[in-house]
């Protein structure tokens, strides 16, 4: 095998899937994919009705899908990215409605003339009318059942419905058999409508994908697909259009609506030099952008990819239901068999026909469809709702984990504070003036990208001769050192000074202190101040209102600054003077101390926080659009730099969890009730079908409540 061949990776694509109506079937199909060569990496998403698969194996994937749920089609002509339409058009419903109408008419005629025909030579007409209706509405169920039986797959809803209705026909309860299939057919139709509506609503929340870009070439604009535009190209965004790619504004001033990406409702003013991100909407002036990233790496593509992948990460409740269904349905079949056989053997005068009928009722009730559909739909609706609030949750398990958070740990700089530093005081030692000290500090910090260095350079306000600076070295968590005009200069915290034999002054002023030493002698210090974010205090108050037991702040700032911030924000616990590795050690201690109360979340801005974000039970990155490391490490990404979104995320998670539990209790409760009623003879086939399809429909509708905005 050649090197090129070994390095070749399969190129996966996403396609729409039509007629995928059974969540339980989707789960079985996914299991089959894992055992099929070439399809091990395929991902079937029931909620979004999509499949991610190697195009070479599309046909085989479709064959497997049809072996489990007949009629499923993979649309290779139109990818999900090319259209937001998920719900079938009205014309696609006509065949279903026609079958429904004809079968209902035959069913009614059979009921009207049943008794009149039964005792005549035309009694066969009863079977002709009812069985025709039965086959019209039940053919899909029957075909699926026989196909699954040949493959050794028993105990699915198709098998149960087939056995139950065959039994009804054998004991000459033809109206019951037809009624079950007809009601099931109608119920499935409305359930599919509800699921498609939910899919469409969820997709609409994320309908932020730009459809085209106005590419500027030779003074003329040409409408092209965003995927075809390369970095360095120039595009034009007109008022009312969505920004198609990430880029730098080179001409024009306007206001952009960033709500689709950040959840921020107030339009933001942009001008030349500012960055415009794909997914934003230009609301006023014409903007000319120089493209900085290809579409696949743009902000909107990353958002859509994260939300799309989120539904494949299952919550514990979803995993429990999948496992539960494996035991629940066979258990009901065993119970039904016992109900059919045991009472006639041991109870005097018990009718075998009556107890068989009761057993058939139990079989109809037993399908776990309501649980298999509504629970993943509920979680995905919650993830969609969170994205509308500017909160990206990477999976249902993280949404569930948010409901169990009892301790929230915050980084300070860039998370609770603006991260925009200003020099507020300059304190030189004897032999140096304020301007001398500021100049030396600016020169030694000239190569640093740290916010503190930026603030010093801004305060200096003049160009720095970089040729005078050599042997520059940045010391993480300490500061910087370099040779400036032939002299060794250090700038950083007290530990940096002490490490190099310099005794710094004991500073009591509030703010971040930058000590400066020249040739081993102390030259003075600068005080750098950082403003708190407007919603920082609101964040802590909102978390406490939600019942969060502990709030903690970890910072590299001095004790005086850290304790002042903690006092202002009412934070319970604070640890200061920390290096990046110290934060990780302190988080470990916090997890040991507070882990028994619930999960520990860490909120950071992604700069030097990736290890801590990864270690927390729930890692939350603030302002994640600008930090690939944060998106990679975090479980939850706040698209705008507002820490108050943490409270929103927890609210959404709790509401989603509440809806999922409601569905779980309602579906199981109703089914268990009807199982009992069926066993004692108080519920017939009609009630059994309601317990199956009706409950599924109601739970799907309940799941859509997770899409609502949090208050």
Short-list 463, 458, 490, CA closest to 474? 490
What was the pLDDT predicted at 8?
45
What was the pLDDT predicted at 9?
47
Average pLDDT of span 547-573:
88
Contacts of residue 462, defined as CB under 8 A and 6 or more positions apart, other chains included, come to none
Contact between 598 and 406 (Cβ < 8 Å): yes
Residue 223 scores a pLDDT above 60? yes
Q: pLDDT above 70 covers what percent of the chain?
A: 83
Say how many C-beta atoms besides its own lie within 10 A of residue 93's C-beta: 14
Residue for token pair 């990477």: 394
Confidence of residue 426 (pLDDT cuts 50, 70, 90): very high
Residue 46 scores a pLDDT above 80? no
Residue 551 sits at φ, ψ, to 5 deg, of -120, 135
Lowest mean pLDDT of 32-41, 404-413, 601-610, name the range.
601-610
DSSP designation for 640: S
Contacts of residue 331, defined as CB under 8 A and 6 or more positions apart, other chains included, come to none
> What is d(CA 201, CA 601) in angstroms, rounded to the nearest whole number?
30
> What is d(CA 431, CA 609) in angstroms, rounded to the nearest whole number?
40
> pLDDT tens, 666-685?
888 888 888 888 878 888 77
DSSP designation for 373: H
> What is d(CA 198, CA 535) in angstroms, rounded to the nearest whole number?
33
The H-assigned helical ranges of 155-289 are 157-170, 174-205, 259-262
Average pLDDT of span 75-95:
59
Lowest mean pLDDT of 58-72, 278-292, 307-321, name the range.
307-321
Short-list 384, 338, 55, 20, CA closest to 201? 384
Contact between 659 and 705 (Cβ < 8 Å): yes
> What is d(CA 133, CA 150) in angstroms, rounded to the nearest whole number?
25
Confidence of residue 319 (pLDDT cuts 50, 70, 90): low
> pLDDT tens, 106-130?
988 888 877 776 777 777 788 888 8
Kindly report the average pLDDT of the chain as a whole number: 81
Lowest mean pLDDT of 47-56, 298-307, 372-381, 517-526, name the range.
298-307
Short-list 586, 662, 600, CA closest to 377? 662
Average pLDDT of span 204-229:
79
Average pLDDT of span 256-260:
72
**From 257, 411, 557, 609, active-site residue:** 411
The strand pairing partners of 18, in sequence order, are 73
> What is d(CA 369, CA 352) in angstroms, rounded to the nearest whole number?
30
> pLDDT tens, 23-36?
667 877 888 888 88
Hey, what are 136's tokens?
Answer: 């019209």
Distances (CA, A) of 146 to 161, 162, 343: 12, 9, 30
> pLDDT tens, 155-190?
667 777 788 788 878 877 788 788 878 877 877 777
Residue for token pair 């900085």: 292
What was the pLDDT predicted at 84?
44
> What is d(CA 315, CA 312) in angstroms, rounded to the nearest whole number?
10
> What is d(CA 633, CA 693) in angstroms, rounded to the nearest whole number?
41
pTM value surpassing 0.75: no
What was the pLDDT predicted at 27?
76
CA–CA–CA angle 386, 387, 392 (5° rounding): 90
Q: Which domains does the chain have, with CATH numbers?
A: 3-83 (3.30.70.100), 93-208+313-404+598-711 (1.20.1110), 213-309 (2.70.150.10), 418-531 (3.40.1110.10)
> pLDDT tens, 619-668?
898 875 545 555 667 788 887 778 999 999 999 999 999 998 998 888 88
CA–CA–CA angle 412, 418, 421 (5° rounding): 95
Among 191-200, 323-332, 527-536, which range has the highest average pLDDT? 527-536
> What is d(CA 689, CA 350) in angstroms, rounded to the nearest whole number?
25
What was the pLDDT predicted at 86?
44
Residue 222 scores a pLDDT above 70? yes
Q: pLDDT above 90 covers what percent of the chain?
A: 21
What was the pLDDT predicted at 405?
95
> pLDDT tens, 454-505?
889 999 989 888 888 898 888 877 889 999 988 999 999 888 999 889 988 8
310 against 101, higher pLDDT: 101
> What is d(CA 682, CA 209) in angstroms, rounded to the nearest whole number?
53
DSSP designation for 20: -
Short-list 383, 208, 390, CA closest to 298? 208
Kindly give the pairing relationship between strand 618-622 and strand 599-604. Answer: parallel
246 annotated active-site: no
What was the pLDDT predicted at 3?
38
């Amino acid at each position: 095998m050649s090197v090129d061949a070994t390095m070749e990776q399969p190129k996966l694509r996403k396609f729409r899937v039509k007629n995928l109506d059974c969540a339980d079937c989707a789960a079985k199909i996914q299991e089959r994919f894992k055992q099929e060569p070439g399809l091990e990496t395929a991902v079937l998403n029931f909620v979004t009705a999509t499949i991610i698969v190697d195009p070479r194996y599309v046909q085989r994937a479709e064959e497997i899908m049809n072996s489990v749920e007949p009629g499923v089609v993979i649309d290779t002509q139109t990818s999900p990215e090319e259209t937001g339409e998920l719900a079938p058009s009205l014309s696609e419903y006509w065949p279903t409605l026609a079958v429904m109408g004809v079968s209902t008419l035959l069913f009614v005629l059979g009921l009207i003339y049943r008794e009149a025909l039964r005792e005549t030579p035309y009694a066969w007409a009863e079977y002709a009318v009812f069985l025709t209706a039965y086959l019209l509405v039940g053919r899909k169920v029957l075909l699926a059942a026989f196909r699954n039986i040949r493959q050794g797959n028993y105990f699915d809803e198709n098998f149960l419905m087939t056995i139950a209705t065959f039994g009804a026909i054998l004991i000459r309860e033809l109206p019951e058999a037809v009624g079950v299939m007809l009601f099931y057919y109608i119920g499935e139709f409305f359930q599919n409508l509800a699921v498609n509506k939910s899919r469409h609503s969820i997709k609409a929340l994320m309908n932020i994908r730009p459809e085209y870009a106005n590419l500027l070439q030779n003074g003329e604009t040409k409408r092209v697909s965003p995927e075809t535009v390369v970095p360095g190209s120039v595009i034009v965004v007109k008022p009312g259009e969505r920004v198609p790619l990430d880029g730098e504004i080179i001409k024009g001033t306007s206001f952009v609506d960033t709500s689709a990406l950040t959840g921020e409702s107030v339009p933001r003013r942009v001008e030349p030099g500012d960055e415009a991100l794909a997914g934003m909407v230009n609301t006023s002036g014409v903007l000319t952008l120089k493209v900085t990233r290809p579409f696949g790496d743009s902000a909107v593509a990353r958002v859509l990819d994260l939300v799309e992948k989120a539904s494949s990460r299952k919550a514990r409740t979803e995993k429990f239901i999948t496992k539960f269904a494996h035991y629940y349905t066979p258990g009901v079949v065993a119970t039904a068999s016992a109900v059919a056989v045991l009472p006639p053997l041991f109870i005097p005068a018990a009718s075998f026909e009556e107890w068989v009928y009761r057993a058939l009722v139990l079989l109809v009730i037993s399908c776990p469809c309501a649980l298999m559909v509504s629970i993943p739909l509920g979680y995905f609706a919650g993830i969609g709702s969170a994205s509308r609030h500017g909160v990206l949750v990477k999976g249902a398990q993280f949404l569930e984990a948010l409901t169990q958070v009892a301790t929230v740990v915050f980084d300070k700089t860039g998370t609770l504070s603006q991260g925009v530093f200003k020099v507020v005081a300059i304190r030189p030692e004897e032999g140096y003036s304020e301007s001398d000290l500021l100049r030396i500090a600016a020169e030694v910090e000239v190569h640093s990208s740290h916010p503190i260095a930026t603030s010093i350079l801004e305060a200096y306000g003049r160009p720095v001769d970089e040729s005078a600076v050599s042997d520059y070295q940045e010391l993480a968590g300490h500061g910087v050192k370099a040779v400036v005009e032939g002299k060794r200069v250090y700038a950083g915290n007290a530990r940096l000074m002490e490490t190099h034999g310099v005794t710094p002054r004991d500073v009591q002023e509030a703010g971040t202190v930058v000590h400066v030493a020249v040739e081993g002698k102390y030259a003075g210090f600068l005080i750098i101040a950082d403003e708190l974010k407007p919603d920082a205090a609101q964040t802590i108050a909102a978390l406490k209102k939600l019942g969060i037991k502990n709030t903690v702040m970890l910072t590299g700032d001095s004790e005086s600054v850290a304790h002042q911030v903690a006092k202002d924000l009412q934070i319970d616990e604070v640890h200061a003077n920390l290096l990046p590795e110290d934060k990780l050690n302190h988080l470990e201690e916090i997890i040991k101390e507070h882990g028994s109360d619930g999960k520990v979340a860490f909120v950071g801005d992604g700069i030097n926080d990736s290890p801590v974000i990864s270690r927390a039970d729930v890692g939350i990155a603030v302002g994640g659009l600008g930090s690939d490391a944060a998106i990679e490490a975090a479980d939850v990404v706040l698209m705008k730099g507002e820490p108050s979104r943490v409270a929103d995320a927890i609210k959404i998670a709790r509401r989603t969890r509440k809806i999922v539990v409601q569905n779980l209790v309602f579906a199981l409760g109703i089914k268990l009730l009807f199982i009992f009623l069926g066993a004692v003879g108080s519920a017939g086939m009609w009630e059994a079908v309601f317990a199956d399809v009706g409950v599924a429909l109601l739970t799907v509708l309940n799941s859509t409540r997770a899409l609502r905005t949090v208050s």
